[in-house]
Copies of this chain bind each other. A is one copy, B any other.
Amino acid sequence: MSHSIREIATALGAEAAGNLDCRIDSVSEPASAGAGALALAMDPRYAEGLAKGQAKAAMLWQGADWQALGLEAAIFAPRGRLAMAGLSRMFDAGPEIAAGVHPMALVDPSAEIGEGAAIGPFVSVGAGVRIGPNARIASHVSIAEGARIGADALILQGARIGARVVIGDRFICQPGAVIGADGFSFVTPEKSGVEEIRETLGEREEIRAQSWTRIHSLGSVSIGDDVEVGANSTIDRGTIRDTRIGNGTKLDNLVHLGHNVEVGRDCLLCGQTGIAGSARIGDRVVLGGQVGVSDNIFVGDDVIAGGGTKIMTNAPAGRVLLGYPAVKMDSHIEMQKALRRLPRLAATVAALQKAVSNSG
C-alpha cells in the first residue's frame, strides 16, 4: 500500500509542499522512520527526531521550514489529531480475512449474507441472521439466531453477537466482546435487604435468609450506526424492551452495560466503565476510565466525567463530574485540597479550643 504526498494531502484537505509525487508506504515517528515513511512531526519538539530518522517527507506543524529540516516534501495539518484520523485510515491494512465464506465456517442456510462478505474460519452464523454487504468477520465469531447487522461491519476474533440483536451500519466490534448476554436481574420472594437499605440508607430491621429467583431477559440489544464496541466488553439484553446504544457512540475495552440501559448518540465510554441496569445516558456524554453509573438513574446530555467517577444520582445536562460520589469537578478539586489540609485544620481547632477555654 502506498500513496503520493499529493493523494494524502488531498484526502486530508491539507496543504502540501515540495515533491508532491513522493511515494509514502508507511507512517512513523520521526526518529525511527524509514526512507519510505511519512514522519509525524506536528510539533517543533519533534524536529530533532527528524534528523535521526530516514524520512524524506513529514507531516509538520504550521509554519515549519521543511527545506531547512532536510525534507523533500511536507504536509501541513492545522489540527494534528484530525489529520491523524484520515492518515491512519489510509494506511490501515485491516485484518486479513479471505473473501467469501471460509470452508470451516458454519453459516445456517436460512441466514442472508450481503455481497462482498469475508467470513473467517470457525465462525458460526445462526438461523435467520441477516448481515449487510461487505461484512468482514474474523475467526471464532458467533452470531446467534435472528441477529441483524447492517452494511460494512467489521467483527473481530471471538466476538459474540446474541440472538435477535439488531445493529446498524459500519459497526466495529473488537475481539471477545459479548453483545446480548442475559441481564443480571434477581428477586427474592419477600423484600430483600437491598430493597430495605435503599429506603433506609443503611438501617436494617431484621436480617432474613433469602435466595434469588432469576428474571429472564426477553428483550435484546439495539445498536445504531457507526458504533464501536471494545475488546471483552459486555452488553446485556433488556428484560422486556431492548438495551439501546445510539448512533456514533464508542465503547472502549472491558466496558459493561447492564440490562435496559440506554446510551444516547456520540458518547465515549472509556475502559472498564460500567453502567448498571436501567440507567439512561444522554447524547455526547463522555465517561472516563473506570467510571460507574448506578442503576435506574439518568445522566444528561453532554455530561463529562473524569476517570474513576462514580455517578450515584441523576446528573444534569452539561455537568462536569469527578469523584466518588460524583460532584462537580471544581468542587471536587476544592474538597480534595481542603481534605489534604484537614489534619492540620484539626490541630488548629484543638489549639483554638484550648485558647478559648483558657481565656473563658
Residue ranges of A at the interface with B (Cβ–Cβ < 8 Å): 26-29, 32, 40, 79, 81-82, 84-85, 88-89, 91-92, 95-96, 104, 106, 120-122, 124, 126-127, 138-140, 142, 144-145, 156-158, 160, 162-163, 172, 174-176, 178, 181-182, 184, 186-190, 192-194, 197, 201-204, 207, 209-218, 228, 230-234, 236, 239-241, 248, 250, 252-254, 256, 258, 265-266, 268, 270-272, 274, 276, 284, 286, 288-290, 292, 294, 302, 304, 306-308, 310, 312, 318, 320, 322-325, 327-331, 333-343, 345-346, 348-349, 352-353, 355-356, 359-360
Instruction: Judge whether B318 and A307 touch: CB under 8 Å.
Output: no
Which residues in B have their C-beta under 8 angstroms from that of A201?
329-330, 333
Q: State in angstroms the CA–CA spacing of A138 and B160 once bound together.
A: 11
The 5 closest A-B pairs by CB, nearest first: A202-B329, A88-B216, A181-B231, A92-B216, A234-B253
| In contact, B289 and A289 (Cβ under 8 angstroms) | no
Q: In the bound complex, do residue A27 and residue B218 qualify as a contact, i.e. CB atoms below 8 Å apart?
A: yes
* Inter-subunit contact A345/B349 (CB<8 Å): yes
- Min Cβ gap A278→B in Å is 12
A201 to B332 alpha-carbon distance, docked (Å): 10
Could you say which residues of chain B place their CB within 8 Å of the CB of A104? 106
Q: Give the most central of A216, A230, A288: most B CB within 10 Å.
A: A216
A256 — which chain B residues lie within 8 A by C-beta?
252-254, 271-272, 289
Q: A139-B124, A286-B194 are in contact. Are A276 and B270 (CB under 8 A)?
A: yes
Which chain B positions have C-beta within 8 A of A328?
202
User: Given A142-B140, A356-B352: A84 and B215 within 8 A (CB)?
Assistant: yes
Whether the Cβ atoms of A217 and B318 lie closer than 8 Å is no
Whether A346 contacts B338 in the complex (CB less than 8 A), given A89-B214, A142-B139, A218-B92, comes out as yes
| Known A88-B216, A162-B175, A232-B232; further 10 A-B contacts with Cβ < 8 A | A29-B241, A88-B218, A89-B216, A174-B181, A207-B318, A210-B266, A271-B274, A271-B276, A308-B310, A345-B345
Do residues B163 and A174 form an inter-chain contact, with CB atoms below 8 A? no
For A247, give the chain B residue with the smallest CB separation. B211
Give the chain B neighbours of A81 by CB distance below 8 A: 187, 215
Q: Which residues of B contact A84 (CB under 8 A)?
A: 187, 215, 239
Contact of A231 among B32, B156, B178, B360 (CB under 8 A): B178
A234 to B178: give the CA distance in the assembly, Å. 14
Q: In the complex the two chains form, what is the Cα distance from A247 to B335 in whole Å?
A: 41
Among candidates B163, B207, B336, residue contacting A96 with C-beta atoms closer than 8 Å: B163
